[in-house]
Every structure is written in C-alpha cells, then in structure tokens.
Amino acid sequence: MRRTPVLLMILASGLLAANSAGGAQTPAAPASPAPAPAPAAAAQPAWVARSNEYTQMLLDVQLKHSPEGGSRQGLAKYDPLITDATRADEIVQRKELEDILANLKKIEAKEKNKDVREDLEILQKTFNLQFRQDDYQLAHKVQFIDASQAVFGGLRTLLDDQVPAERRPAAVIRLRKYAGVEPGFKPFADVLKQRVMEQMAKPGVVYPSAVEMETELGRDKNYVDGIGQLFRKYKLTGWEEPFAKLQQQLAEYDTWIRATVMPKARSDFRLAPEEYALSLESYGVDLPPAQLAEMAHKAYTDDQAEMTTLAAQVAKEHGWKLTDYRDVIHELKKTQITGDAILPFYKARLKAIEDIIVAKNLVTLPARPAIIRLATAAETAQQPAPHMSAPALLHNTGQKGEFVLPLNIPSATGGEADKYDDFTFDAVAWTLTAHEARPGHELQFDSILEHGVSLARALYAFNSTNVEGWGLYSEWVMQPYEPVDGQLLTLQLRLLRDARAFLDSELQAGKVTPEQADKVLENDVVLSHAFATEEVERFTFRSPGQANSYFYGYTKLLQLRKDTEAALGPKFDQKKFHDFLLAQGLLPPDLMRKAVMEEFVPSQKK
C-alpha cells in the first residue's frame, strides 16, 4: 500500500519491509528506508567514512522532516517531535534533498575512489526513483491516508520493551502534538484531512479503491485501542486527556473519509501501468511482469510435482491413505499448537535449526539468542503476517531484531475473524523460522550491526528483492536437513512465492480476479481463508508489486550460487560464501553479483 511521502518514514519506522512469511508488506518503501548503521570508527576504511559523510547529509534532511523514523533508529533528540504532514513541508524537504544531490553529483565527477563513486550513484538512483513516485502520486492520485495507523506507528516506536525507560515519557509529548493540544500544533488528523482535500481539488485524479478503504478503516479500532494499551502498559502519566481528544479526532476523521472520499472510491483496485512499473522498480524487480510470471508458472508446476513425491512419503510415515499434497497438508495442520505452548515450541525449533547450521557448517551464528514474541492485536492489524521487526540500525544501543508471530487477522468490521492455521503446527515451523530468524532475516540484520557497511549500501541500495531473496534462499539452504514433513511445508511456502509472482501481475493486468486468486491460494497452495485474504489484499492494494520480489530475489541468489560453485569448483565453501553475502549488507542482486565475482571468487582461488 503506497503512502503519501510525508508518511513514508512514519510507517517505515516500525517494521521491516519484509512481511516475510505472509507477505510485508513490506511497509518500508525502499525509497524511504530506515537508516542503517555506520560501522565502528576504528573499523572504517577511509572510503567508507567519506561515503558516510555524504550519505549523512541526506539522512539528516529525512529525519528532520520525519522524526518518528529518527526515534525508531535510537536517536532520542527526535522523540518529542512529529512529522509536519503539510504539503508546504514536503516542498521544503524536496528542495533540500535536491540541493544536496546536486552537490553530490559534482563531488561524484571528481571522486577517484570507485567505491565512493558507486555509493554516490546509489544515492542518485534511489532519490530519482522516489521523486518520480512522489510526482506521479501528486499529479494523479488521491491517497488514502489512514490516520489511526500513522499515529499508532509514531507512538509504538517509543513504547516498546527495547526502548530505554527514560525515553518513553516523550511519547506523551508526541501524543499531545498529534492531538493538537500542545501550543503551536494542529490536530494531526486535521492536517491529513487538508492533504486529502488538496488532492481532491485537482482535476482528473484517481481515487483509492473502495475495498482498500473499507478494509483499513475497519481495522482502525485495533490501532486506537492499542495506543491506550501501550500507555497503560508502561505506566505513563498525563496521557489520558490528550488521548481522549485524539481518539475523538481519529473517529471523526474516519467518518469524514467515509462521507467524503468513499463515495468517489474506485471499484477497480488495479494500478495504472506506469504506477505499477514504478512500484516494481521500487521493490527491485527489473523484469517485465509477463516474463517473471512465465518463470513463476514453470516453477509452480515443478514445485507441485516435487510436493507430490514428498506428500506420499509423509502419508506413508503416518499411515495415511491420502496421497495428494493438499490432503496431506490439511492433515498436518489439524494438530495445532496453541496458547502458551507456541513460544516455547518456536524457541525449541530455532535451537534445532541452529544445531543443524553448526553441524553442517552452513553460516556463522552470533553468540546471542534470537528474539521471538507474539504480536498484539494492534500490531497484527498493522502487519497481519509473521515478520521480522528490524532493530534500530543508526544508533543501536543493544536493540535486536524480533521475529513477531501474529496469530489472527482483524476482520474488516473489527470483529472476530477467521483464524490462521498456517503458522502454528510442527512441520511449518522449520521453514518459517529459517526465513524470519536464522539463517534468514534476523541473521541479515545481526550481520549488519556486527560488520557495518557504508550507509549508502546498507540503506539506499536496499530493496525488497534482496531482503526477501535471502529469506527464501535461507529456506532452500535448510530444506535438505529437515524431516520430510518439514521439507513438504518448505515447498508449500515456496509454492506460495511462485504464486505471488504470477498472481500479483496477472491481477494488475486483469487476467485473473481476486476471487480466482483466492481459490488458487486456498485450494492449490493450501492456505487458510484468512491467509489467502491477506495475500489478495497485498496484491490488490497493500503493496502491489512487492510480492513478486520473493521469487525474483530467490532465483537471482540461486543463480549466483550456481555460478560461484562453477567458478570455484572444489574450492567452493558455502559457509564462507554465506558469510560474505551477509557481510555485504542489503545489496540488490546486481551489486551483490559484482561483489561476489570481483572480490569473493578471486579471494577463494588463491
């Protein structure tokens, strides 16, 4: 789901754009990502230090205009501040960024170090894309801005167990500013309303889809209730009165959206081809949608064939007469892990995976334990799939990434919803833990914190393709060492990523309907109704184009591994290969291939 530029940093501040197992959404748009770490000064090569000085100029502008993102990155000076969501502030920010980029362009022309030049090229490319996206939206769209979700994200970033207690009272100041009770501040909901009206006044603009607004507004109660729960949890004072005002303002804003914007909503969820192309580019997908869909259809058929073989083995082990993979997965799902047993089970499964990683010499593990926890109702509304919540990377004082397990999705009416049965049974925990925790996303971010890379490479070279590619590749790495039912479920979730890569683009092209996509996901991929619903929301309005990145990034990494093995022959060491990949930071496929072929391969041949 695309947001107006003013809200990108707010909404990016809480979650990794991974949305990994169920599909994340990603939240964080690559063009407005969360800042990454500067390496320890003693370990910095001179070129990294120089590159970081240039990148920091842009970061300072972004965080000044989106202070909620600065809080998320551990910078306490931003804690009492909130985003100025006016168009006037956006114009100022754009001018400041353009001036810096123009100066960096001149520096790039004189720069002799190739690594610094490459970083400067990354910066130019990233902001050029962001500006094109912003300009398209301003010229053509009335954005749906969910005020409750934005405010929850801005407060949640301070009200967290990993945030030092002395920083949390700033959330009360931020709350007062959102509510407009602090001198000099208007209610945040009123500012957002003004932004929407400014867009509505433009001729020929396209309105949001009705299904998007209805679904998201139906979840706003979870955000508002979640705000109150957080202030009570951390026993803060002086929040009740501004919260009551804010609660009323958010309710009035939603009523206004329903009365003013909803009647003009589109019945068609599809993006214009130009906008969809921009979305794919932002997520790191550089193949034409039809070509990627063709590749994904083939992989889908191949994976189904392999699942048929594995399902027969699982059925034989259990003494079942069923042999179709769909029936076997349904049987495996019947034994659900519930309540207090969920967390201990996942922690034990992670320990089993770590033992395999060490025994098989797959990748270097950190000494500290990974963090796994259950989501709250509000967090589930914000991100209704298992995901990695990334740690603060710019000013990290010990915070770690968290593998978060939402267990249900709020319905559009805010009532009880269909339950997932996709994440809380034995066989699926192998691949889900490998993707989100280790050796997947948690290890990615731990490696960044440990090694440090230039800000440009860790931040502005980031896209969903390289992040999700590594997560899915991690599942592939672990699959041979799993029990046969775990292998079957690894293939089931790989089948889901295949389906994403053709359903997303075919929905946007009008080749399939949401109802047809739902049937594929429920009947052939064997998802619960709740999970399939979430997936179709992702394809149609939450983040069109992002779902393709899993399959695309995975295929690029597999090909890179095959090419590296061919280049090194018996000298190929997968632990060294994986450690090298992680040490590069969140690089997109083209830069990762360049690093492997120009640095790793020659070093291993010596």
The per-residue pLDDT for range 263-318, each reduced to its tens digit, is 999 999 999 999 999 999 999 999 999 999 999 999 999 999 999 999 999 999 99
Instruction: Report the alpha-carbon distance of residue 579 to residue 401 in Å, rounded.
Output: 19
pLDDT at 387: 82
Mean pLDDT of 310-332: 97
385-435 per-position pLDDT tens digit: 778 887 766 667 777 888 888 754 444 444 445 678 998 899 999 999 999
The pLDDT, as a whole number, for residue 48 is 87
> What is the Cα–Cα distance from 278 to 273, expressed in whole angstroms?
9
Q: 266 has which bridge partners?
A: 209
Mean pLDDT of 497-501: 98
pLDDT of residue 404: 87
| pLDDT at res. 562 | 98
> What is the tens place of the pLDDT at every residue in 504-522?
999 999 999 999 999 999 9
Question: Cα separation of 386 and 406, whole Å?
Answer: 6
194 and 88 Cβ atoms separated by less than 8 Å: no
Tell me the pLDDT tens digit for each residue of 236-257: 999 999 999 999 999 999 999 9
Q: In the structure, what pLDDT confidence band is assigned to residue 452 with cuts at 50, 70 and 90?
A: low
- List pLDDT tens digits, range 102-151: 999 999 999 999 889 989 999 999 999 999 999 999 999 999 999 999 99
| Position 149, amino acid | Q
Helix (H) or strand (E) holding 484: helix 484-508
Q: What average pLDDT does range 62-76 have in this prediction?
A: 93
CB-based contact 500:532 (threshold 8 Å): no
Res 453: pLDDT: 75
pLDDT tens column, 542-562: 899 999 999 999 999 999 999
Confidence at residue 382, expressed as pLDDT on a 0 to 100 scale: 65
Work out the pLDDT band at 455, boundaries 50, 70, 90.
confident
CA 124 to chain centroid, in Å, comes to: 23
- Of the two residues 425 and 36, the one the predictor is more confident about is 425
User: pLDDT at position 394, please?
Assistant: 67
Percentage of the chain lying above the pLDDT 70 cut = 89
Categorize the per-residue pLDDT at 461 as very low, low, confident or very high, splitting at 50, 70 and 90.
confident
Amino acid at 36: A
Average pLDDT value over all residues in the chain = 88
Q: Which of 70, 35, 72, 78 is nearest to 56 (CA)?
A: 35
Write out the H or E segment, with its range, that includes residue 256: helix 240-256
60-64, 207-211, 392-396: range with lowest mean pLDDT: 392-396
pLDDT (0 to 100) of residue 307:
98
Complete edge-to-edge strand list for the sheet that includes strand 371-374: 371-374, 402-405, 387-389
pLDDT for position 392: 67
Report the C-alpha gap between 346 and 350 in whole angstroms. Answer: 6
Cβ within 8 Å of residue 311, ≥6 positions away: 323, 324, 325, 327, 328, 329, 488
What percent of the chain shows pLDDT beyond 90? 73
337 Cβ partners below 8 Å, 6+ apart?
345, 424, 425, 426
Residue 484 tokens read as: 């046969």
The C-alpha atoms of residue 250 and residue 73 are separated, in whole angstroms, by 27
Cα(245)–Cα(180) distance, rounded to whole angstroms? 9
Q: What's the pLDDT at 25?
A: 34
Written in H, E and C, the secondary structure of 323-389 is CCHHHHHHHHHCCECCHHHHHHHHHHHHHHHHHHHHHCCCCCCCCCCCEEEECCHHHHHHCCCCEEE
Q: Please state whether 235 falls in left (phi above 0), alpha (psi between -120 and 50) or beta.
A: left
pLDDT for the residue 496: 98
Q: Comparing C-alpha atoms, which of 604, 539, 482, 583 is closest to residue 280? A: 539
What DSSP state is assigned to residue 319? T
Provide the pLDDT for residue 333: 97
334-353 burial string, b = 16+ CB within 10 Å, else e? eeebeeeebeebbeebbeeb
Instruction: Kindly give, in sequence order, each residue whose CB lies less than 8 Å from that of residue 455, ignoring residues fewer than 6 positions away.
Output: 35, 36, 37, 38, 51, 52, 55, 56, 59
Contact assessment for residue 217 and residue 258, using Cβ atoms and an 8 Å cutoff: yes
